[in-house]
Amino acid sequence: MSKRPKLIATDLDGTVVAHYGEISQRTINAFRKAYSMGIEIFFVTGRPPRWMPEIQEAFGIGKAICGNGAMLYDLQNAKVLEEWLLPVDAQLETVKRLRAAIPQISFAVESHNYFHREKIYVPRWDVGIDNVGVEKIEEVISSPALKLLARCSQQELTSDEMLAIATKELEGIVTVTHSNPHDSLLEISAINVSKGATLSKMAARLNINAQDCVSFGDNPNDISMLQWCGRSYAMADGHPAAAKHAKGIALPHTDDGVAIIIEELLELPA
């Protein structure tokens, strides 16, 4: 018979956070109840820490893995605990290879305390953090980074098309993924850094195995986590690649899909 999980990990945007930024009360209640029953809660996201205060405010519980696995973040005390960063040489090699493969590409680089972009890189979310921009991102690549971002600002290629090219060009150098099929945007981390890899490390520290973990996600950057967990659910309205690697399907976030499954899991015996 199935048992109640010991750890629940979830992506945020498009999974439990609506695209207009809201989190339903039913979702908040489900996670809080799970936490009150002794279940470990991890919010596993591509977001940097500067986008996490609203999550802490909404839930008031749980731990966080940010930057697609590149950072362990103390959500309740707003502190960076550990990082697995992208080295300078890997950043520069990635930029060089992608410029050759996708000539119209532009770049941004981010860490927990900065966001730099090229002038032709059109930011969707971080407008205001860096309105100036540089001509070439190489000018500001001087330290290990949380994430390198690569964009076709005129959307000449889709994120999926960009990912297919980049995966081939960057094999063995970095980990490349995306979290938005409509945005012509790649997210690039250090080699072997992913949501699944970091979640598995955290679970091991808690003496919890994959079979006792449940995860939820909606995009390619969630695949490693969906694959690793013994039980995993892709969102019904998410990217088709996520569904291929999950063990089950959850209703869309607009229908409280994650909350419904958590409520069912909490009925199981410990």
Q: Does 76 lie in the same domain as 16? A: yes
Percent of the chain at pLDDT above 70? Answer: 97
218 and 99, same structural domain?
no
Residues 173, 132, single domain; the answer is yes
Verify that 185 and 210 share a domain, yes or no: no
pLDDT of residue 181: 83
235 within domain boundaries? yes
Predicted pLDDT of residue 85 = 98
**Model pLDDT, residue 131:** 61
Are residue 147 and residue 228 in the same domain, yes or no? Answer: no
Question: Are 56 and 99 within one domain?
Answer: no
Query: Which pLDDT score is estimated for 19?
Result: 83
pTM value is 0.96
Q: Are residues 177 and 93 in the same domain?
A: yes
Check residue 129 and give its pLDDT: 57
- The count of domains in the chain is 2
Here the CATH number for the domain that contains residue 153 is 3.30.1240.10
Q: Identify the domain containing residue 169 by its residue range.
A: 88-190
What is the reported pLDDT for 126?
Answer: 57
> Does 102 lie in the same domain as 77?
no
- Residue 31 and residue 164 share a domain: no
Statement to judge: residues 178 and 213 lie in one domain: no
Question: Does 244 reside within a domain?
Answer: yes
Q: Quickly list DSSP for the chain.
A: -----SEEEE--BTTTB-TTS---HHHHHHHHHHHHTT-EEEEE-S--GGG-HHHHHHH---EEEEGGGTEEEETTTTEEEEE--B-HHHHHHHHHHHHHHSTT-EEEEEETTEEEEBTT---SS-TTT-SS-BSSGGGG--S-BSEEEEE-TT-SS-HHHHHHHHHHHTTTTEEEE-S-TTTTEEEEEETT--HHHHHHHHHHHTT--GGGEEEEE-SGGGHHHHHHSSEEEEETTS-HHHHHHSSEEE--GGGTHHHHHHHHHTTS--
Q: What is the mean pLDDT of each run of 10 residues along the chain (270 residues)?
A: 93 94 96 98 96 96 98 97 98 98 96 89 67 89 96 91 97 96 93 98 98 98 98 97 98 97 97
Say what the pLDDT of residue 125 is. 66
Residues 199 and 242 placed together within one structural domain of the fold: yes
pLDDT at 215: 98
